[in-house]
Chains A and B, each alone.
Chain A
Amino acid sequence: DGGITQSPKYLFRKEGQNVTLSCEQNLNHDAMYWYRQDPGQGLRLIYYSQIVNDFQKGDIAEGYSVSREKKESFPLTVTSAQKNPTAFYLCASSIGTSGIYEQFFGPGTRLTVL
């Protein structure tokens, strides 16, 4: 079955630690996205990538970093510089950014900072 997988489902982090969230897709999509979702707020874009080895900052990139070494994979690192990292993180993909209107989402990773 084609789809997007994210791991882990739940992640706990101590203050001052970096953590990396995994996102893998087997849909053969070129574009991939990372969003953050907080209670009472819509999804906010952190980073997006249109092709391998290229990525762009979204609206709230500070304190996050990404890489895109393979088409299938777009990991997100939450660094210690992110002041309020507790949130639900969603990865998405689309055929290309021209297909941005049809984004497919993964199941999400819930990150809690202790």
Chain B
Amino acid sequence: QKEVEQDPGPLSVPEGAIVSLNCTYSNSAFQYFMWYRQYSRKGPELLMYTYSSGNKEDGRFTAQVDKSSKYISLFIRDSQPSDSATYLCAMTETGRRALTFGSGTRLQVQP
């Protein structure tokens, strides 16, 4: 079983929809949670980073962490065609020198 599971998609939504992207994980020591966006044939770029449980909002993006369920989510409001990309979750624990990535979910926002 992988340490981090992420549905590969593709997830296709109409423009303006609310998108929900999710990851589950098995390591209860994970405390730092990140979402990266990766456009085709490009390097990932950091969208949001949260520590421990709770919510964090940045513009149209909201990240949620539920440590009791080992489940994290990224919500995108008013989705745009420019949001079409692969979204990677990543996580780590204090003192660990590496990130563990999910396999990524491909999102397509149709105009």
* Residues of A near any B CB (own CB < 8 A): 4, 33, 40-45, 48, 50, 56, 58-59, 90, 92, 97, 100-108, 110
A-B contacts besides A42-B101, A42-B104, A45-B99, 11 pairs, CB < 8 Å = A4-B43, A33-B98, A42-B90, A42-B102, A42-B103, A43-B88, A48-B98, A100-B92, A100-B98, A100-B99, A106-B43
Select which of A40, A90, A102 is within 8 A of B46 by beta carbon.
A102
- Which residues of chain A are near B14, meaning CB under 8 Å? none
Given contacts A101-B49, A103-B99, contact A42 B32 (CB under 8 A): no
Contact B88–A42 (Cβ < 8 Å): yes
Select which of B8, B42, B90 is within 8 A of A107 by beta carbon.
B42
- Which residues of chain B are near A110, meaning CB under 8 Å? 41
Q: 23 pairs across A/B with beta carbons < 8 Å?
A: A4-B43, A42-B104, A43-B44, A43-B99, A45-B98, A45-B99, A56-B97, A59-B98, A92-B43, A97-B97, A100-B92, A100-B97, A100-B99, A101-B32, A101-B92, A103-B46, A105-B43, A105-B45, A106-B43, A107-B42, A107-B43, A108-B42, A110-B41
Q: Does B76 contact A (CB under 8 A)?
A: no
- Which residues of chain B are near A105, meaning CB under 8 Å? 36, 43-45
- Which residues of chain A are near B72, meaning CB under 8 Å? none
- Which residues of chain B are near A43, meaning CB under 8 Å? 44, 88, 90, 99, 101
**Cα–Cα, bound, A92→B90 (Å):** 14
Chain A, Cβ-Cβ closest to B2: A42
Contact A41–B32 (Cβ < 8 Å): no
Chain A, Cβ-Cβ closest to B42: A107
Q: Does B74 contact A (CB under 8 A)?
A: no
Per-residue contact bits, chain B 86-101, to A (CB 8 Å; 1 contact, 0 not):
0010101000111111
Contact A108–B41 (Cβ < 8 Å): yes
**Cα–Cα, bound, A36→B41 (Å):** 13
Q: Does B63 contact A (CB under 8 A)?
A: no
- Which residues of chain B are near A50, meaning CB under 8 Å? 97
Q: Does B21 contact A (CB under 8 A)?
A: no
